[in-house]
Amino acid sequence: MASDSSPPAAASSPQGPGDKLAVFWHEGMLAHDAGRGVFDSGRDPGFLDVLDQHPENADRVRNMVSILRRGPIAPFVSWHSGRPAHASELLSFHSSEYIEELVQANATGAKKFCEGTFLNPGSWGAALLAAGTTLSAVKHILDGHGNLAYALVRPPGHHAQPDRADGYCFLNNAGLAVHLALDSGRSKVAVVDIDVHYGNGTAEGFYRTENVLTISLHMRHGSWGPSHPQSGSVDEIGEGKGLGYNLNIPLPNGSGDAGYEYAMNELVVPAIDKFQPQLLVFVVGQDSSAFDPNGRQCLTMEGYRKIGQIMRSMANRHSNGQILIVQEGGYHITYSAYCLHATLEGVLDLEAPLLDDPIAYYPEDERYTKKVVDMIKDSWKQSVPFLKDI
């Protein structure tokens, strides 16, 4: 029987700006090494002296850890150790056949699951730590120990579907956390994913579910092969009981800070207000930034900070300030850490920025993005029953 793990009563006010963010981390996740090659391909053409480190590498996360430990946000952060997930915990989201495929791949030493997605020695242990650490983070909230928790994890997870790996991802960390929240008594959970790529794995896992609202803001990249058949288009809105509860926001390349803020306010906020979740899961990827090698969306620290503030405002209205944050992409070794810092400043609802943007200057024109957002809104009014009057 599910325990009663609903948000605290309304008399218990949400966290104030001075409260801390619980960061869950385990350095064993650094052991995953996807190798070197031409960008993420793993290929060596034989005529290049220097190959790329795979974009999903340990250094990007080392900087995220260090900026939270030694940056100006450090006084607002508390640190908690992660743990590996148990095999039985993985079955809430993933099929037993797929988990066995991962176990066998680890036993044989290495396997390429799809383009860019390599399980090498150390990868499976890191993936189990990422899943377990995310479960520990959401349990911190569910058990009433705090309202804000951040699972600083790798390998990422939002492309991992119930029965397959995809896009650097093996286990769907956020999806596992959502199931734990539902099993613990939360009747409705909303996922807001701002990684530059469509959170197709999370969407697939809840595509026929009415008590989980999945929202993904991403660049329009479409399907990229058998491992990623979903397109991320506006018309992928769920099926059966889940019809209308998967909302895709494919944004034009270069949407920038103003474009993303407009999309959040015009699309995400009304949908969340209508759905009224008891927990918000905020899936973050800094690959939407102006300098990321894997995206083209041109967000800066200012844009990430504003998105964090909007998320906090929605959580204060619907889940008594409770937000689980789950790390996904973000591949610029230094700027990703700065954008993470800004995002968490926003979530903490700090009065003023703690860090200046070291490099961002990108002229933006949000007019086209606003037209696209308005078109998406019209589409939702016609096709999503609970949003017909937004």
Burial class (CB in 10 A: 0-12, 13-18, 19+), 156: buried
Q: 312 near 346, Cβ under 8 Å?
A: yes
Q: Of 159, 179, 332, 341, which one is the catalytic site residue?
A: 159
Told to judge if 341 belongs to the known catalytic residues of this protein, a careful annotator would answer no
CA dihedral (378, 383, 384, 388) in degrees, to 10, reads: 50
Q: Which residues contact 267 (CB under 8 A, 6 or more apart)?
A: 215, 247, 249, 373, 376, 377, 380
- CA 372 distance to own-chain centroid: 23
Residue 21, φ and ψ in degrees, nearest 5: -100, 125
Q: What does the alpha-carbon distance between residue 204 and residue 113 come to, in Å, rounded to a whole number?
A: 18
Instruction: Cis check for the bond before 155: say yes or no (omega within 30 of 0).
Output: yes
The Cα–Cα gap between 378 and 389 comes to 10
179 forms bridges with which residues in the sheet? none
Spatial separation of the C-alpha atoms in residues 48 and 321, rounded to whole Å: 51
Assign 304 to helix, strand or coil.
helix
User: 60, exposed or middle or buried, with CB in 10 Å at 0-12, 13-18, 19+?
Assistant: buried
Beta strand 77-81 pairing with 212-219: unpaired
What is the three-class DSSP state of 280? strand
Catalytic amino acids? 159
